[in-house]
């Protein structure tokens, strides 16, 4: 292991500075053991860059599955969080508090639909749970229609909406009343929605399912069928929201106005937060029939407000659109032709999926060795989620690494 000067200076006599293998061994032995550790231990971050415990710098095109849209430790965000952490961090929903009121007022007008209420919670899966409870509890219906290869989270309700057998099978039976339909068969999707359907739930770009944008025709037919049957339409923008797709919300690409909107990941720039937006079509639940201890606390609200500030000041949505177009142009130009490792390039804005002709695991390891953190989205899709603040030069550098690593791959390899 090499250790540069910055790494030596920041070394502390704590677990964080233990040799890389020892650190990993502690987590492997005592963590829940649900994910294999990757080959770097992360110590700090600044913008699009991470520093490992042994002083290596990594360009981060994953940012915690899209959480750190502003990059790591944006100075405006850090200052807002530091101010708030010294003022008030916990305040139950039974008391009003300035940061929360401010966030409700500022966020609602930015959302794509007729929304006048937000339920604030702590994660994407909780936003989905809340959507299911509001849809069922206000409609008196119990049916839910979801799509194959959709991902909505891992608590038992959200998991019931999630399609993948690997996530579901250990926990069967799940909540009754859920049906999964192929997004490639709009007629079947329409037929699944009827007068028993409380809600339909969609990701407009399926993230975990392989970075797959839905067809506009499907989305329009679902909206119309929901209107005809009075089923509620839930859009899960946990991953696509907050500029990721080159619009503030992916709904804008489709001209879509959902009845409920699930938010998470990037909403508070790195602190745990989720939110469900809804309006008069949904109505409210009886008092105390849903709630959360930490939801909408002043600390995460201050963080979310700082995120909105930075989006405005740095015009991050337009930036995501421009950088995304540049990435697509380069990847198309440099990875096409005979012997190309690429089966299909998908995505919107800075949500980029490269479906490869082979399995992606080995490529992720080699990219990390070259200094780039990237993600998978299924067995053979490479997913890139660069922070929206990525500089032009860093984008080019990251794409250089991707192209070089892919050109080295045996295109006819396994998978």
Ligand X SMILES: *Cc1c(COP(=O)(O)O)cnc(C)c1O
**Cβ 218 vs Cβ 186: under 8 Å:** yes
The yes or no reply on residue 129 touching ligand X (CB under 6 A) is no
Return the structure tokens found at 70: 């502003």
From CA 110, how far away is CA 114, in angstroms rounded? 11
The yes or no reply on residue 123 touching ligand X (CB under 6 A) is yes
Closest to 388 measured CA to CA, from 304, 317, 312: 317
Q: Which residue, 139 or 149, is less far from ligand X as judged by CB?
A: 149
Q: Which residue, 239 or 292, is less far from ligand X as judged by CB?
A: 239
Count residues contacting ligand X (CB under 6 A)?
A: 16
Q: Which residue, 208 or 355, is less far from ligand X as judged by CB?
A: 208
Residue nearest to ligand X (CB): 124
Q: How far is the CB of 34 from ligand X (least distance, A)?
A: 12
Angle subtended at Cα 310 by Cα 68 and Cα 298, rounded to the nearest 5 degrees: 75
The yes or no reply on residue 55 touching ligand X (CB under 6 A) is no
3-state SS class at 20? helix
Return the structure tokens found at 237: 């923008």
* Residues between 183 and 242 that touch ligand X (CB under 6 A): 203, 207-208, 236, 238-239
* Residues between 248 and 277 that touch ligand X (CB under 6 A): 264-265
Q: Which residue, 65 or 357, is less far from ligand X as judged by CB?
A: 65
Q: Which residue, 153 or 270, is less far from ligand X as judged by CB?
A: 153
Q: Give the number of C-alpha atoms closer than 13 A to the C-alpha of residue 74, restricted to the C-beta side.
A: 28
Choices 72-80, 124-132, 184-192, 194-202; region in contact with ligand X by CB under 6 A: 124-132
The yes or no reply on residue 153 touching ligand X (CB under 6 A) is yes
Q: Which residue, 130 or 342, is less far from ligand X as judged by CB?
A: 130
Q: What is the DSSP letter of 72?
A: B
The yes or no reply on residue 292 touching ligand X (CB under 6 A) is no
Q: Across 90-225, where does the E strand assignment appear?
A: 117-121, 143-147, 178-181, 197-202, 205-206, 212-213
Q: How far is the CB of 344 from ligand X (least distance, A)?
A: 20
Q: How far is the CB of 184 from ligand X (least distance, A)?
A: 19
Element (H, E) at 347: strand 342-348
* Residue recorded with tokens 């292991």: 1
Contacts of 155 (CB under 8 A, 6+ apart): 125, 126, 128, 129
Footprint of ligand X on this chain (CB under 6 A)? 65, 123-125, 128, 151-153, 203, 207-208, 236, 238-239, 264-265
């Amino acid at each position: 292991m090499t250790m540069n000067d910055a790494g030596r200076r920041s070394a502390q006599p704590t677990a964080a500075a233990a040799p890389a293998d020892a650190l990993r061994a502690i987590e492997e032995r005592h963590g829940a053991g649900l994910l294999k550790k990757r080959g770097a231990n992360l110590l700090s971050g600044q913008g699009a860059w991470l520093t490992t415990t042994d002083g290596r710098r990594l360009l981060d095109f994953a940012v915690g599955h899209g959480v750190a849209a502003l990059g790591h430790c944006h100075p405006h965000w850090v200052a807002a969080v530091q101010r708030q952490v010294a003022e008030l961090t916990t305040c139950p929903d039974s008391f009003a508090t300035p940061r929360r009121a401010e966030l409700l007022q500022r966020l609602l007008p930015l959302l794509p639909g007729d929304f006048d209420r937000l339920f604030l919670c702590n994660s994407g899966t909780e936003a989905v749970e809340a959507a299911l409870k509001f849809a069922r509890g206000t409609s008196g219906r119990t049916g839910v229609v979801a799509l194959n290869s959709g991902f909505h989270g891992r608590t038992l309700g959200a998991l019931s909406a999630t399609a993948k057998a690997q996530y579901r099978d250990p926990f069967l039976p799940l909540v009754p009343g859920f049906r999964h339909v192929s997004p490639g068969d709009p007629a079947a999707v329409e037929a699944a929605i009827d007068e028993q359907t409380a809600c339909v739930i969609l990701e407009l770009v399926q993230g975990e399912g392989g970075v797959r944008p839905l067809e506009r025709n499907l989305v329009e037919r679902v909206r119309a069928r929901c209107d005809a049957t009075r089923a509620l339409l839930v859009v899960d923008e946990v991953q696509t929201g907050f500029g990721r797709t080159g619009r503030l919300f992916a709904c804008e690409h489709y001209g879509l106005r959902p009845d409920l909107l699930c938010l998470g990941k990037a909403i508070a720039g790195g602190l745990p937060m989720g939110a469900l937006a809804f309006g008069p079509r949904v109505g409210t639940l009886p008092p105390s029939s849903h709630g959360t201890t930490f939801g909408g606390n002043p600390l995460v609200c201050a963080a979310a407000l700082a995120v909105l500030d930075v989006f405005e000041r740095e015009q991050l949505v337009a930036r995501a659109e421009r950088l995304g177009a540049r990435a697509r142009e380069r990847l198309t130009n440099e990875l096409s032709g005979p012997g190309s490792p690429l089966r299909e390039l998908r995505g919107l804005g800075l949500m980029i999926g490269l479906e490869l002709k082979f399995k992606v695991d080995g490529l992720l390891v080699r990219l990390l060795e070259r200094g780039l953190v990237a993600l998978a989205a299924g067995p053979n899709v490479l997913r890139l989620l660069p922070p929206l603040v990525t500089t032009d030069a860093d984008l080019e550098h990251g794409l250089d690494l991707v192209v070089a690593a892919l050109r080295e791959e045996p295109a006819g390899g396994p998978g």
